[in-house]
Amino acid sequence: MNSFPGLKTLVLALSVACPLPALAIGSVTNGGVTFGYTQDFGTSRGNTVNADFTGAAAGDQLYESWWFFRVQGDRQEFAFGTPDFEDYTLHGGSVGRLDWLDPSGTGDFSARLGFEVRETAPNQGVVFQNLQITNTGLTDLTIDIFHYSDLDLGGSFGDDEAVLVSNPNAIELALSDSSAMAPLVGYQADHYQATTWRSLLNDLTDRNVDDLDDTGAPFAVGSGGDFTGAFQWTRTLGVGATQNFLVQFGSDTAPLDPSMSLVPEPGPGVLAALGLMGLASYGRKPRR
């Protein structure tokens, strides 16, 4: 799949130097609150990744939480697959990081996902997730990024509702059921959509182009539906430019000010950090 021999060799060498967990899963914890990926990323391409959010309200409030991309010209959206690097030990184990050197297999961009769990009070907490995209190609990169969430409040998918909340810096949904509430925030997002499972997931995993259409909220309680929601951003990055995509969700608490988040971390993108800028221009494959 990888058409860059030099990059592949370097990735292999770095992987040997920093062996990955056998199942490529892990979690971050702060106080009594834990966020983690529970499914081998290798099985996620074309779908999404199971996740847990525990210690904030009763049970596990989260079924899936994952990211998708579509580069201009692609004929469908793609899930981010197995990362090249993983780290769940940053900031005392409350911050983790996944890196992809070339998630599209075309050399167009690299990606770094930072995620942070924060206990805000006993049995309350939030999770920040920041996806950082760097244009590693030779031309402008126009890319759509999607963040998909399947939250199940009170540990069950039944009777969850959602309404839009005014937020000048974000698209914000307030989820609730009889036992819990949860904010879901996409900062600077262009569009959102909410549907019952698995209409939205089908759109993000089928073989055609879909854009979110700003529908689905209010999501009615009592419908028996299983709430799922997503945010979409469309951005154009110049050569070498980096763009951040930030989301936050929480449980039984208001969202924190995003400036309090430890992600994104300051500093250069993953390829720049590795001194690989320009290497990705070799062996470009035609677009899918």
Footprint of Ca ion on this chain (CB under 5 A)? 52, 60, 62, 76-77, 150, 152-154, 156-157, 160, 177, 203, 206, 208, 210, 226-227
Residue 183 or residue 269: which is nearer to Ca ion going by CB? 183
Residue 149 CB, nearest distance to Ca ion (Å)?
A: 8
CB 30 within 8 A of CB 125: yes
Residue 68 CB, nearest distance to Ca ion (Å)?
A: 9
Please give the single-letter amino acid code of residue 192: Y
Q: How far apart, in whole angstroms, are the C-alpha atoms of residue 86 and residue 96? A: 8
Residue 65 CB, nearest distance to Ca ion (Å)?
A: 9
DSSP state of 287: P
Residue 166 or residue 208: which is nearer to Ca ion going by CB? 208
Residue 34 or residue 136: which is nearer to Ca ion going by CB? 34
Residue 229 CB, nearest distance to Ca ion (Å)?
A: 9
Residue 208 or residue 259: which is nearer to Ca ion going by CB? 208
Residue 2 or residue 179: which is nearer to Ca ion going by CB? 179
Residue 227 CB, nearest distance to Ca ion (Å)?
A: 4
The closest alpha carbon to 156, from 227, 103, 93, 249, belongs to 227
Which whole-number Å values give the CA distances from 45 to 24, 37, 77, 101, in the listed order? 14, 14, 11, 16
Contacting residues for 65 by C-beta, under 8 A, at least 6 apart: 48, 49, 51, 127, 129, 147, 148, 149, 150, 249
CB 83 within 8 A of CB 26: no
